Structure 1
Amino acid sequence: MRSKKIGVFIMLFISVAVLSGCASNSGPIKSETSDGFTIVTSFYPMYVETINVTKDVPDVEVINMTQPQTGCLHDYQLKPQDLKTLAGADAFVVNGAGMEDFLADVIKQEKNLKIVEVSEGIDLIKDESGEDNAHVWVSISNSIIQVKNIADQLSELDPDHAAAYQSNAAVYIAKLEAEKEKMHASLDAVSNRDIITFHEAFPYFAKEFNLNIVDVIEREPGTAPSPKELEDTIKLIKASNVKALFAEPQYSAEAAQTIANETGAKVYSLDPGVTGEADESADDDYLKVMDSNLKSLEEALK
């Protein structure tokens, strides 16, 4: 009998050790004994907005679910690691508007997880196929709405820190408003407003600053345009006054450069702000991206 008990104890000990070993290699999973409030964000723009709302709030942890280099979540497939991370979360901050195609699977798997969908109240733009364009955060005005939504919904979920969330949101929104005002002061007087972008990330940005997107080089990111599409874009540029092509730092600019070589147009950069390092230094990343975008537009259009 004693030998059987010892055998059972050894098996239990081995099981615990194995499970502990798996946890140590499984990434940012909330400890089951944690008394804090854990927030998971779906991708980098949501992470930047959320860490500004939760800045210096005690016992609140923010984890970005996807790799900061993932970019937009086009066709992103949930990994077992993602579900483990979400299992330890108190709230999941998502862009919504169709960006996270996997959201239905998350809701099905984690029925008690609180979803903070931050694009609520934003007027969505339809793309050519009639689907909602989800890149709402690229507009500063929309980013402000998202920050307000994050603060309001976190305040409901974690009322002990509601005052801090609202105060942080007000500070960050003031910075966003100042950035928007600076960009408008520079861009509102520009006469040439025709641009060609890399993919469908910039309709809200263009609406914000009254820019006219004449054409999009790649409708689906990562999918090279066909020879016919390249030819059509080249003809369009030659027949118009478009002088600027805007590629994104997250993708190869090969197609844009090919068009530029054939037309004499120049290639510049516009960044939708979807990549970066998910750490405390990321709080000003969106503002830095907008500063960089402003410099590109000033050089291209003035």
Structure 2
Amino acid sequence: IELIRGNGEEGDNPHVWVSVSAAIAQVRNVADGLAAIDSVNEKKYHTNAGAYIVKLETLKKKMHDGLANISSRDIITFHEAFPYFAKEFNLNIVAVIEREPGTEPSAGELAETINIVKSHKVKALFAEPQYPAKAAQAIARETGIKVYALDPAATGPVSLDAYIRIMETNLTVLQKALK
């Protein structure tokens, strides 16, 4: 998996799983790693990984097809969770609301983001379900754009199909927001 560098001293962006292609690579890597330390169950690991990868490949195609004809590709995200996703699905992140993890944007940063919304004619701003949307709502009030939620699959209920359901919801949200 090719990592995306963070800004400044942040290091590499860790949110690789938000890309479906990278999630597929992770599933393969986990199966290979488990098989290497537990050869008795190697076939089970690879069989299970293969079955899940088929589901992820189907999801990836659905998402590529579903985002192929959106009219706007410029987006603003809440924090740096979506660069891998944006790269995979040909979206352009023109601004990030929370530039430093865990810190609210300054008044100057909010003003800069508002100017970016106006100059790029951004259609939608994306908050995340696990964070307060106060800054996103302030930008929306000043610009008139809508706030939507994109989920980086970092929190929430654990279930066998959680990742796929989250990504399908993200697809629906993006189609609605960027039409």
TM-score, structure 1 as length reference: 0.58
Task: State the Cα distance separating 1:133 from its structure 2 match.
Answer: 0.7
Cα deviation digits, residues 38-82 of structure 1 (max 9, x gap): xxxxxxxxxxxxxxxxxxxxxxxxxxxxxxxxxxxxxxxxxxxxx
1:137 corresponding residue in structure 2: 17
- Alpha-carbon separation, structure 2, partners of 1:149 and 1:223: 34
1:169 aligns with 2:49: yes
- Alpha-carbon separation, structure 2, partners of 1:132 and 1:292: 27
1:284 to 161, 168, 178: 161
DSSP-derived class of the 2:160 partner: helix
TM-score, structure 2 as length reference: 0.97
Cα deviation digits, residues 140-198 of structure 1 (max 9, x gap): 00000000000001001011110000000000000000001001111012231000000
Unaligned runs of 5+ residues in structure 2 are none
Amino acid at match of 1:128: N
Amino acid at match of 2:92: N
- Alpha-carbon separation, structure 1, partners of 2:39 and 2:156: 30
1:116 corresponding residue in structure 2: none
- Alpha-carbon separation, structure 1, partners of 2:24 and 2:113: 34
Task: State the Cα distance separating 1:216 from its structure 2 match.
Answer: 0.2
| Aligned 8 A contact 1:194 1:213 in 2 | yes
Amino acid at match of 1:213: I
Higher RCO (C-alpha 8 Å, min separation 6): 2
2:174 corresponding residue in structure 1: 297
2:151 corresponding residue in structure 1: 271
Task: State the Cα distance separating 1:220 from its structure 2 match.
Answer: 2.3
- More helix by proportion, 1 or 2? 2
- Alpha-carbon separation, structure 2, partners of 1:125 and 1:291: 24
- Alpha-carbon separation, structure 2, partners of 1:223 and 1:301: 28
2:26 to 143, 146, 163: 146
Task: State the Cα distance separating 1:248 from its structure 2 match.
Answer: 0.2
> Any residues of structure 2 matched to 1:207-226 within 5 Å, and which?
207-226=87-106
Amino acid at match of 1:132: D
- Alpha-carbon separation, structure 1, partners of 2:147 and 2:169: 15
Task: State the Cα distance separating 1:238 from its structure 2 match.
Answer: 1.5
1:126 corresponding residue in structure 2: 5
- Alpha-carbon separation, structure 1, partners of 2:97 and 2:35: 42
Amino acid at match of 2:7: E
- Alpha-carbon separation, structure 2, partners of 1:175 and 1:221: 32
Return 145-154 or 181-190, whichever deviates more: 181-190
Max radius of gyration: which structure? 1
Q: What is the CA RMSD across the aligned residues, in angstroms?
A: 1.0
2:78 corresponding residue in structure 1: 198
- Alpha-carbon separation, structure 1, partners of 2:83 and 2:63: 17
- Alpha-carbon separation, structure 2, partners of 1:236 and 1:162: 51
> Any residues of structure 2 matched to 1:54-203 within 5 Å, and which?
122-129=1-8, 131-203=11-83
DSSP-derived class of the 1:283 partner: coil
- Alpha-carbon separation, structure 2, partners of 1:232 and 1:277: 35
| Aligned 8 A contact 2:124 2:178 in 1 | yes
Amino acid at match of 2:131: Y
2:122 to 228, 242, 251: 242
Amino acid at match of 2:3: L
